Amino acid sequence: MRTLLIGGSHQAYFAANAIREIDPEGKLIMIEFTSEKVEVLSKTFPFAEVILQEINEVESYIKGNASILDAVISATESDSLNLRYCKAARESAVPLVISILNNPLNQEIFLKEGITYIINPHSIIPIELSEILGGSANILYRSPKNNVLVASIKISDERLLLELKRTLDQSSDVSAVFVSQAGEITSSLNEADLGGRLYLIGSERSIDKMLKVARKVVRR
């Protein structure tokens, strides 16, 4: 796989290491805008080819190399640049175009511009907090590719438990495990008690429906 990673931010640092691990034989090309950063990146990532480019030249580079690129990942410190470069990659028909956002508030703007794969490094904050603080219903992971969702629901009352049992029985595309307050894990909801947490993995559509049920019952 041939991947172009643009930017030398700390997000790019994690991206570069992840790419190396996922695809050790692949070719990683990194672009940065100052010679000082290019030097640092070359030393930090000896497995990558690091190129110095001016901000305005990157789009031409993408267009010129689009036919040999499998993925473009834009991880600069500016979401404006990320948007520009992702749009150039998309227009050049690069198969995978990924942006790593600096500001989560830009997610909707990127989606409107047709950027499908948007990584929001801050999205983990509310999820982790909700798990730690015992939030009622929590989406733990939404797969960017396969419409798969992982979620957790706090079993706060009998009605909710009954509703969830009924919905689970009717859903063939969702699996569940229950974690009791004491930390015991079971796959049988018959052993579920109040105060524990139900973990669900399955189709986005079905789990979204169950989360709605949970929120509705909690509101009541």
Partner 1 sequence: MKVSVIFPTKNREHYVKRAVRTAFKARSVQEVIVVDGGSRDRTLEIAEREGARIIVQSDLVYPGKGVAMRDGAYLATGDVLVYLDIDIRNMTPEFIEKLAEPVINGEADFVKGCFERAAGRVTELVAKPLLRMFYPDLARFKQPLSGEIAGLRTLFYKVEFERGWGVDVGLLIDFHKLGARIVERDIGYKDHDMKPLHALTDMAYEVAGAILRRAIRDHKADPRWAEKYLRGVRAIDLGLESGRGFA
Task: Pick the piece of the chain touching partner 1 (CB under 8 A) from 79-87, 141-149, 166-174, 207-215.
Answer: 79-87
| Separation CA 58–CA 11 (nearest Å) | 19
Site membership for partner 1, residue 80 (CB under 8 A): yes
- Beta carbon nearer to partner 1, 56 or 146: 56
CB of 157 to partner 1, least distance (A): 35
Task: Pick the piece of the chain touching partner 1 (CB under 8 A) from 66-74, 80-88, 137-145, 198-206.
Answer: 80-88
| Separation CA 39–CA 49 (nearest Å) | 11
Bridge partners of 172? none
The contacts of residue 15 (CB under 8 Å, 6+ apart) are: 5, 73, 75, 100
Site membership for partner 1, residue 83 (CB under 8 A): yes
Size of the site for partner 1 (CB under 8 A): 15
Mark 8-46 as b/e (b = at least 16 C-beta within 10 Å).
bbebbbebbeebeeeeeeebbbbbbbeeebbeebbeebe
Cβ neighbourhood burial of 79 (10 Å; 0-12, 13-18, 19+) = buried
Site membership for partner 1, residue 55 (CB under 8 A): yes
Place of tokens 């049988």: 188
Q: Tell me how long the chain is.
A: 220
Please list every residue from 94 through 133 that binds partner 1, using CB under 8 A. Answer: 102-103, 105-106, 109
- Beta carbon nearer to partner 1, 83 or 198: 83
- Beta carbon nearer to partner 1, 110 or 178: 110
Among 77, 91, 131, 204, binds partner 1 (CB under 8 A): 77
Among 5, 81, 115, 176, binds partner 1 (CB under 8 A): 81
Site membership for partner 1, residue 54 (CB under 8 A): yes
> Rounded to a whole number, what is the largest CA-CA distance in the chain?
63
Task: Pick the piece of the chain touching partner 1 (CB under 8 A) from 21-29, 49-57, 66-74, 209-217.
Answer: 49-57
The CA–CA distances, whole Å, from 14 to 53, 106, 122, 163, 189 equal: 21, 21, 14, 42, 39
Count of CA atoms in the C-beta half-sphere (13 A) of 195? 5
Among 84, 94, 151, 174, binds partner 1 (CB under 8 A): 84
- Beta carbon nearer to partner 1, 21 or 54: 54
Positions touching partner 1 (CB under 8 A) are 54-56, 77-81, 83-84, 102-103, 105-106, 109
